[in-house]
Amino acid sequence: MAMSGGVDSSVAASLLCERGYEVIGVGLRLPEAPKTGATCCGVAGLRDARRVAAEIGIPFYVLDYQEPFWREVMAPFGRAYTEGRTPNPCIRCNARLKFGRLLDFARALDAHHLASGHYARVERREDGTPCLRRGVDSRHDQSYFLYALTAQQLAHIIFPLGELTKGQVREIARRWDLPVANKPSSQDICFVGPEGYRVFLARHYPWALRPGPIVDQEGRELGRHKGIGAYTLGQRRGLGVAAEEPLYVIGIDAEDNTIVVGSREDTFIRRLVIDRVHWVADDMPRGESCRLMVKTRYQRAEAPADVQLNHEGVLVDFVRPHPIAAPGQAAVFYNGDVVVGGGVIDRSIPTLVCNVRQKKKR
C-alpha cells in the first residue's frame, strides 16, 4: 500500500485491512520542496503515514526515491518549461515510479497487488482483461493522471477509494479516529510547494526565466515577458501589456524566447496533434476516426472529438471549438467512463486555420 501520510491513502490502507488483506505500508522519500518542505512524501508526510500504520497495525517501510524522482520527474518537468511546454509531472510519476518502479518492487516481494489512494477504478472485462474507469466521485476522479498505465500494470493494482466520494472518505477517517482525519488535502505539485513552480525554475532552470519580447501575430513588440517558463497557452493574467481588448498567450517560441499574444477568438482550436500516445488495453481506434470524449486538462470538462491515427501520430478533431491546449499537457480519451488512452499534446491548430482549410477543400 503506497502511503503518503494523507487522508486518502490512510483510509485506503484501513479499508484493505478491514477486507482481510495482508497489508504492507510503503512510503516514498522524495526531494523536499524549497523552504516549506514537500506537501506530500516529505519527512512530515512520512511521519504521518508511520503513525497511521501503527494505528491500524501494519508494518511500514520507506524507500528512498529521491534520485529516480529527480531523473524521471523533476528534470523532465524543468526541461519542458525551457522548451515552451507545460508539463504534467503527476502523470509521469504515476507511470514511471508509483506504478512502475514501486510495482516492480512489490512484485519482487511476492505481493499480489499494489494499492493507492487514487480516485479511480480497475474492473475486468468479459475476456478477463483489466480496464481503467473513472472514480465515482466526478469532482475528485483521478483517472486523467493514470492513462499511461498498461494492462499488465492494472492487473496488479487496487484502488480502494474508487467507489467512494471524498466526503465518505473523510467520514470513514473520522469514524475510525485516524490521526490524519482532518488533514487538508494537498493542492500543490509535491516538489514545488505553495510558492509555485517558478521558484523551482529559478533554482534549477534559470534560463527558462530570461526576459524577452511579447509580440502580436504580426511580430510587433507590445511589451516584455519574464521568461517563457512563466507562461502557458491561453493565459490572460500577468502579461503586463496595455491594450484596448484583453490579450491572451496564443504562442510560445522557445527558440526566439518570444511570447505571442492574440484576442480571445484566437484561443479556440478545432484540432490537436498528439504524440507519445498510449492505449490502455489495445483499444486503439483503427481505420475511420472514432468519436470519443477528450479531456485536455484535469480541471477542464471533456469534450466530444473524432480521434484518428495518421502519419503525424493521432489527430483530435473537436466537434465544437475548444479552448487552446498547451503542448506538454495530456489529452486523455474516454469512452463513457472507461479510459481508452491518451497522449502528450504536441501542438494545437487554431479554429481559424481549420476554417481556411475547410474552405479550400470545398
Listed range (109-118, 178-187, 209-218, 345-354) with the worst mean pLDDT: 345-354
How far apart are alpha carbons 323 and 300 in whole angstroms?
A: 9
User: How high is the pLDDT of residue 351?
Assistant: 59
Residue listed under C-alpha cell 483517472 = 143
User: How high is the pLDDT of residue 128?
Assistant: 84
The model's confidence at residue 238, banded by pLDDT at 50, 70 and 90, is confident
| 40: annotated active-site residue | no
| 93: annotated active-site residue | yes
The DSSP secondary structure of 101-141, one letter per residue, reads IHHHHHHHTT-S-EE---SEEEEE-TTS-EEEEE-S-TTT-
pTM passes above 0.85: yes
How far apart are alpha carbons 309 and 71 in whole angstroms?
A: 31
Nearest to 141 by CA among 362, 293, 344: 293
Quote the DSSP letter at residue 263. -
What is the pairing mode between strands 258-262 and 303-310?
A: unpaired
Element (H, E) at 51: helix 43-56
The model's confidence at residue 125, banded by pLDDT at 50, 70 and 90, is confident
Q: Is the dihedral of CA 159, 163, 166, 169 positive or negative?
A: negative
Which residue out of 40, 41, 93, 131 is catalytically annotated?
A: 93
- Residue 68's CB is within 10 A of a number of other CB atoms, namely 16
Q: Is the dihedral of CA 260, 266, 271, 274 positive or negative?
A: positive
Nearest to 111 by CA among 119, 122, 102: 102
Quote the DSSP letter at residue 57. T
Grid cell in block for residue 179: 490521526
Nearest to 192 by CA among 182, 201, 205, 184: 201
How far apart are alpha carbons 87 and 80 in whole angstroms?
A: 6
Listed range (115-119, 270-274, 281-285, 318-322) with the worst mean pLDDT: 281-285
Angle at 39 between CA 11 and CA 204, to 5 degrees: 145
Q: In the predicted model, is pLDDT for residue 96 greater than 50?
A: yes
Q: In the predicted model, is pLDDT for residue 355 greater than 50?
A: no
- Return all residues near 27 (Cβ < 8 A) that are at least 6 apart: 2, 3, 4, 5, 41, 45, 46, 49, 50, 60, 61, 62, 63
Which residue out of 40, 190, 290, 354 is catalytically annotated?
A: 190
Is 307 in contact with 289 (CB distance < 8 Å)?
yes
The model's confidence at residue 288, banded by pLDDT at 50, 70 and 90, is low
